[in-house]
Amino acid sequence: MKFICLTLLLISGITDSRSEWFEVVGPADPVFAVAGEDVILPCSVKPNISVVDMRVEWFRPDQKDSQLVHLYDDHEDRNTDQIQSYRGRTKLIHQELQTGNASLKLSSVRVSDEGRYKCFIQSKSQSDDATVDVRVEAVGSPPVITVDGFDHSGGLHLQCESEGWYPEPELEWLDSKGVSLSSETTETHRNMDRFSVKHTITAHHSNDKIHCRVKLRHHMLEALIISSNNMFSSWRTSVILISVFVVLIVIAGILIAVFAHKYRAQRQLRKEKTRIQHERDQLLKSQKMIIPKAVTHFRKHTAVKVTLDADTAHPRLIVSDGGKRVRDGNRKLNRVDEGKDRFSEYLGVLGKVGFTSGSFYFEVQVKDQTQWDLGVARESCERKGIDLSPEDGFWTVGRRDREYWARGSPDYWASSSVSLSLRVELQRVGVFVDYEERLVSFYDVESMSHIYSFTGTPFNEKLYPFVGLGFQWNNNSTPLIICEDY
């Protein structure tokens, strides 16, 4: 009788052991995820038995000490030791555990989530695990094609750039027939966990569609430009003018060699100088065709909405409710507000939003105001003094009565300030900033002409739009207006 009982217990143990046997199964191929979206990391057991009473642990074996991603144990989630970057972004579907599905939902995917994951499942008598390989793709900005001049053979230099991709994308040029075009220069930069790319080609055919395509394994963005006859005609005009100029130089040399008479030699030199000036004027004329295209591009692709921050304004200034206008209120002040964010000497005010990367553009109406400065300022700019120089965090142009200046020092007449010889009175000024290229440029929007540029600027912190109405007071009540009617 004892032998029979012992046999039955042994058979029962073997049966229970077999009933708990399982295998953890994961995907055979990598799981691709898009940065910013959600993804499911598959994991299940075979046969499809319930894992409700088991321990389910997700962790990163490729991280130091195999850090915890998500833990389910004793019928509930236990994420006290979870990696900080995964807090609030992981979830097990508890209802699915009854059918053996222990897949993990990962929300708001980041580039740093890329790597290997282990799905570990443990019962009272057995454990097994599976590996899930996660690949992350981040889609960057749409590519932008710009015209970057001509070469000596008449080819049109085209530059295409895009940023914000992961992993490093492939950029290619295609003609209208889909044939790949060879890039001449290639630049790739990595900013934190994203890549930016810039490629240049030279086009030699007019009336052709040229595509710039940036792609990853599962994503692609594309831009198109049509190289028209108008683009190439400006180069042909320049070539003709330069050719004429060279011929005139040769003729002048022959005449000087043949006719040694001083008077005729001087006369020929004067004639030569006139032709050189004519050539220069023609080249400047062709340059003026580019500025309107640039301003139109800035307005369409890099324009930002600027709202003035009244909390930074000098106490004499009155900022409109919408933050689009500012003027001197001509108020008598018993004392100056000494808040650290407010200007106390110069009648200045900053925009509410600052920028630490990329490019941005905005316009300010200065019509009828005779004392003003505008541009950008870094976050730590000196707000208690009167110096608007780059050394103190300001990159501005301004007006005093009938004179215009680019501010290089607190004294408008100092050698480090640049006098701007403008033929017309400014009505509206456009400000363009390229953070990575260290560039601040100013444009006369009415005449579509370039005013001044600061280059090689050492930006190392957040930049804010800046406008001002002079030092201590401004008797002209005309406001400066942030424009949005592009």
Fold for domain 144-227?
Answer: Immunoglobulin-like (2.60.40)
Q: For residue 300, with 0-12 CB atoms within 10 Å meaning exposed, 13-18 middle and 19 or more buried, which class applies?
A: exposed
Q: Is pLDDT larger for residue 269 or for residue 405?
A: 405
Averaged pLDDT for residues 332-353: 78
Q: Pick the closest to residue 146 from 157, 156, 159 (CA basis).
A: 159
Res 474 pLDDT > 70: yes
**Out of 3-7, 58-62, 248-252, 378-382, which region has the weakest mean confidence (pLDDT)?**
3-7
The pTM of this model reads 0.43
> How far is the C-alpha of 414 from the C-alpha of 113, rounded, in Å?
55
Q: How many residues does the chain have?
A: 486
Question: What mean pLDDT value characterizes the chain?
Answer: 83
What local confidence, expressed as pLDDT, does residue 379 receive?
93
- The Cα-based distances of 338 to 178, 377, 383, 410 in angstroms read 64, 19, 10, 21
In terms of average pLDDT, the best of 59-68, 170-179, 433-442 is: 433-442
Percent of the chain past pLDDT 90, that is, above it, reads 52
Res 421 pLDDT > 70: yes
Res 313 pLDDT > 90: yes
The answer to whether 457 and 441 have CB atoms below 8 angstroms apart is no
**Out of 13-22, 362-371, 440-449, which region has the weakest mean confidence (pLDDT)?**
13-22
Averaged pLDDT for residues 145-155: 71
Res 51 pLDDT > 80: yes
Q: Is pLDDT larger for residue 152 or for residue 382?
A: 382
Query: What is the C-alpha end-to-end distance of the chain, expressed in Å?
Result: 99
**Out of 41-45, 96-100, 190-194, 277-281, which region has the weakest mean confidence (pLDDT)?**
277-281
Averaged pLDDT for residues 339-345: 81
The answer to whether 227 and 241 have CB atoms below 8 angstroms apart is no
> How far is the C-alpha of 158 from the C-alpha of 174, rounded, in Å?
12
**Out of 50-54, 334-338, 403-407, which region has the weakest mean confidence (pLDDT)?**
334-338
CATH class of 297-483: mainly beta
Averaged pLDDT for residues 113-138: 95
What local confidence, expressed as pLDDT, does residue 45 receive?
96
pLDDT band at 415 (very low <50, low <70, confident <90, very high): very low
List all residues 6 or more positions away from 363 whose beta carbon is below 8 Å from its beta carbon: 428, 429, 430, 431, 445, 482, 483, 486
CATH class of 20-137: mainly beta
How is residue 366 written in tokens? 């200065």
Q: Is pLDDT larger for residue 138 or for residue 177?
A: 138
What local confidence, expressed as pLDDT, does residue 325 receive?
97
What local confidence, expressed as pLDDT, does residue 17 receive?
44
**Out of 189-203, 217-231, 269-283, which region has the weakest mean confidence (pLDDT)?**
269-283
Res 13 pLDDT > 50: no
**Is omega for the bond preceding 410 within 30 degrees of 0, making it cis?**
no
Q: For residue 24, with 0-12 CB atoms within 10 Å meaning exposed, 13-18 middle and 19 or more buried, which class applies?
A: buried
Res 197 pLDDT > 70: yes
What local confidence, expressed as pLDDT, does residue 409 receive?
46
Percent of the chain past pLDDT 70, that is, above it, reads 78
pLDDT tens by residue, 108-122: 999 999 999 999 999
pLDDT band at 384 (very low <50, low <70, confident <90, very high): confident
Other Cβ atoms within 10 Å of 251 Cβ, number: 13
pLDDT tens by residue, 208-248: 788 899 999 888 888 888 765 555 455 455 544 555 555 56
Pairing of strands 480-483, 325-328: antiparallel
Averaged pLDDT for residues 265-269: 66
**Residue that has been written with the tokens 């965090």 in this structure:** 393
pLDDT band at 134 (very low <50, low <70, confident <90, very high): very high
Q: Is pLDDT larger for residue 274 or for residue 457?
A: 457
In terms of average pLDDT, the best of 24-33, 259-268, 278-287, 450-459 is: 24-33
What local confidence, expressed as pLDDT, does residue 15 receive?
43
